[in-house]
A and B are shown apart, each in its own frame.
Chain A
Amino acid sequence: MSGYPREMQESIRKVEATRARRIKETFPAMSMEGRDAVLEAFHPDYKEETFQAIRVGVSKGQRTPVELARIVEGRPHIGPDFDLSDPFAETDVLIVGGGGAGASAALLAQENGAQVTLVTKLRFGDANTMMAQGGIQAADRPEDSPAIHYLDVIGGGHFTNVPELVEALVMDAPFVIEWLEDLGMMFDKNPDGTMSEQHGGGTSRKRMHSARDYSGAEIMRTLRDEVRNREQAITVVEFAPAVELVLDDKGQATGAVVMNLETGVYHFIKAKAVVLATGGGGRLHYQEFPTTNHHGATADGVIMAYRVGAPLGYLESMQYHPTGAAFPEQIVGLLVTEKVRGLGAQPVNKNGEQFVYPLEPRDVEAASLIRECKERGNGMITSTGQPGVWLDSPMIEIIHGPGTIQKALPAMVRQFGRFDIDITQEPILVYPTLHYQNGGVRLRADTSTDIPGLFIAGEVSGGVHGHNRLMGNSLLEITVFGRRAGRSAASYAHEVKLGKPTLAHLETWNRELEEAGVDTGIIAPILLPDYTRRE
């Protein structure tokens, strides 16, 4: 029995009727001018009224979604008089965030001689890394090169990426693959040992390495297992989000105030260097979009780094993944991996017709889906009013042979199977969903920032991807820059002479809010979304 109601099945019949024809024809890719036009008209980043400029701090004037601006301009959890005289714990390197970037940083900091403490908001591994399905890019085939990868990245990012960061990303990539495999990660491979690699949106070579559609989960659990094996040098503290960074009287990072999430008690953890790896902010639900992000994705790191004076960038740009689930209602917004398109499934409208090249860069693909539904009225509307277009997954088995979907996309099969939808036989209804924070805290290629002793890695950072990230470059980013951050922080921690810890920056911050007449009434970071029912 199909989980799709009858009116949706009627549309599915049309998709089936055109399948044999469509499989031989691919909708042409857009010109650069065509891309610009659809972005301007339909991408959420171009809805001017949903943005505002940040009114205080070093990056005053930075445009960002109003939901984010409001918490960036929020008030701190603690006052400038919070007692720092008796630290709860001391360490060489404090890592804030227990996702893939934090775990990578922990391992490299430990290998470079540091004692490490890693604090994280929920459980170790509760992070967007765990949910990444599609894969990780690395130019490691003879037909490919780091230079070609560079061009793909910077073109996808609208030529606004920071060149040194892109260079680090593409040149480290093959080394990261080797590192992960040495730690015991299981990549998808052909029997002769060559990596099984696919295209992603905006790639000119097949360089997407995967681990079924549990690519991020496989990276995360492997890194987490290895961190746990090094418990003598790496202490992990769960349910302990940082709420404020602490500088010394010379302006150097010297730890953070963390909150025991279950008791509400605040503690100062003193450190010689801090790595901020807190991830993104999908749970802020910009423009009321659903999100693919994990429960704790509330942009904490942006808020904390900004308050101590680290400049922000690229935060006028958020990534909406083209294919979030649009049906059933219980899983609306959850990720349907780009690997589905990478394996050959086409997006088609309710009449069974193609309307976009399946693998445009994500922002262009997402805007095209919105146009098809909103402007052209060719979306399938579900009984709850949710629009969507079909992602024709059964094509995959026609192209690659029966059994391919179960083998390559077991998580997707399971996800939809729970709702009686068999994606090997029926297409998937999809619509764009809030996925990734392209911008964040500015950093250099060694992950250092304008604040001595503060290092940045992963989604909390801004500049690597310019104004649009390509698929498979975030699992790459967290490992490349996580490793660099661990190395940089450890070597910095060996050298630094710390002064006296102080929260003087909060006096400045509070005064600036007051002078600007800003009071958003929000204590930030907000730490968790609140989904309790409102009467």
Chain B
Amino acid sequence: METEEQSGRTEPDLIPVYIMGKRYMVPPSLTIMKAMEWAGYKLIRGVGCRGGFCGACATTYRILGDPKLYFGLACQTVVQPDMYLAQIPFFPAQRATYDITQLEPVATTLFSTYPEVLRCLGCGACTKACPQDLDVRSYMAAGMRGDIAKMADLSFDCIMCGLCAARCPAEEAQYNIAILARRLYGRYLAPRSEHLYERLEEIEAGKFNAELEELKGLDEEELMRQYKARDIEPK
């Protein structure tokens, strides 16, 4: 890929961005990800769902002259003039191995699985780095109090990109600790859905077998008749 200086061309509608320090001229309407592709990158690392759900394209950037570090997802963040950017597509974070069926949903489970939870300084570097704008510091504080439900709730929209862990001076892997909290909540603390278990018993007892057998044997005409005759549950 030629840079603008090399080619001697200027295109007035383009803006300069610096991908890992190298200057490229790109259209100002593009996301960081599309700008990299426009510049000639065929992405393998640092690209996943392209929709803001998977956390593959965590990116850190700075604007020339501004010392502040910014964070975002490359697929969701529009380029700005003089943006210096680098992707962080992988972070070597600590992750514990555990058997969810053998745990109890209590504070000591968090502390024994991830002893570093208690080292959290409460500095908030994680919160500043989160591209989902989650209050990571608060969910870590909830974890330190042993409030698993709160930690699960506040961390729910986490996409596990790892930017929090990358910025943490206490070397926490907040997103791995948070998914333990969510799994403890989902398995042990969420109120039980009795109707689900009643339905499982009915299926196991064979309650619907005859009806399903009959449906499977119907021709299209009869299926269509029954389909049209369905009553629709009101909103």
Contact = CB atoms under 8 A, between A and B. Distances in A.
Contacts of A410: 157
Query: Could you say which of B37, B53, B133 has the most chain A C-beta atoms within 10 Å of its C-beta?
Result: B53
B145 interface: no
Contacts of A177: 196
A532 B37 contact: yes
Contacts of A204: 230-233
A205 B22 CA distance: 56
B190 A189 contact: yes
B208 A174 contact: no
A454 B34 CA distance: 37
Contact of B52 (A195, A228, A239, A411): A411
Contacts of B186: 181, 183-187, 222
The range of chain B's interface size is 35 or more
Contacts of A174: 196, 199-200, 203
B191 interface: yes
Given A187-B190, A217-B53, A229-B100, A330 B48 contact: no
A221 B49 contact: no
Contact of A344 (B50, B191, B235): B235
B62 to A, nearest CB: 19
Query: Could you say which of B39, B54, B132, B232 has the most chain A C-beta atoms within 10 Å of its C-beta?
Result: B54
A404 to B, nearest CB: 14
A134 to B, nearest CB: 13
B224 interface: yes
A53 interface: no
A329 B212 CA distance: 47
A414 B52 contact: yes
Interface string A128-142: 101100000001111
Interface stretch (A62-70, A163-171, A245-253, A301-309): A163-171
B160 interface: yes
Interface in B146-201: 152, 156-157, 159-160, 179, 182-187, 190-200
Contacts of B42: 528, 530-532
Given A294-B48, A294-B50, A229 B200 contact: no
Contact of B44 (A152, A183, A261, A294): A261
Contacts of B122: none
Contacts of A330: 29-31, 34, 76, 78
B219 to A, nearest CB: 9
A308 B94 CA distance: 41
A496 to B, nearest CB: 30
A528 B228 CA distance: 43
Interface stretch (A6-14, A118-126, A423-431, A504-512): A118-126
A414 B75 CA distance: 13
B75 to A, nearest CB: 9
B115 interface: no
B132 A414 contact: yes
A533 B156 contact: no
B208 A154 contact: no
A112 interface: no
B70 interface: no
Interface in B205-227: 208, 211-212, 215-216, 220, 223-224, 226-227
Interface in A333-352: 334-335, 344
A151 interface: yes
Contact of B100 (A170, A183, A194, A334): A183
A159 B220 contact: yes
A122 B56 contact: yes
A397 interface: no
Contacts of B190: 181, 186-187, 189, 193
A192 B54 CA distance: 32
A329 B41 CA distance: 21
A376 interface: no
B51 A140 contact: no
B208 A131 contact: no
A335 B184 contact: no
Nearest to A529: B42
Contacts of B197: 178
B99 interface: yes
A143 B233 contact: yes
Contacts of B48: 122-123, 126, 130, 294-295
A187 B182 CA distance: 11
Given A193-B194, A194-B193, A532-B37, A414 B133 contact: yes
A226 interface: yes
B100 A226 contact: yes
Contacts of B157: 212, 214, 410-411, 414
A325 to B, nearest CB: 10
A131 B50 CA distance: 9
Interface in A217-232: 217-218, 221-222, 225-226, 228-229, 231
Query: Could you say which of A225, A226, A261 has the most chain B C-beta atoms within 10 Å of its C-beta?
Result: A225
Interface string B95-135: 10111100000000000000000000000000000001100
B40 A533 contact: yes
A239 B212 contact: no
B76 A130 contact: no
A163 B233 contact: no
B51 to A, nearest CB: 5
Interface in A509-535: 528, 530-533
Nearest to A527: B44
Contacts of B133: 414
A154 B227 contact: yes
A478 to B, nearest CB: 15
Interface in A269-313: 292, 294-295
A27 interface: no
Contact of A532 (B41, B53, B160): B41
Contacts of A449: none
B43 interface: yes
A147 B191 contact: no
Nearest to A292: B51
A183 B188 CA distance: 10
B47 interface: yes
B100 to A, nearest CB: 6
10 contacts: A123-B56, A126-B49, A131-B53, A142-B198, A159-B223, A330-B76, A334-B52, A414-B132, A530-B42, A533-B38
Interface of B: 29-31, 34, 37-45, 47-54, 56, 76-78, 95, 97-100, 132-133, 152, 156-157, 159-160, 179, 182-187, 190-200, 203, 208, 211-212, 215-216, 220, 223-224, 226-228, 230-233, 235
The 7 closest A-B pairs by CB, nearest first: A184-B183, A193-B191, A155-B227, A184-B186, A163-B216, A126-B48, A531-B37
Given A147-B212, A178-B197, 10 more contacts: A126-B48, A141-B195, A141-B199, A171-B208, A181-B190, A221-B179, A228-B95, A228-B97, A294-B50, A528-B42
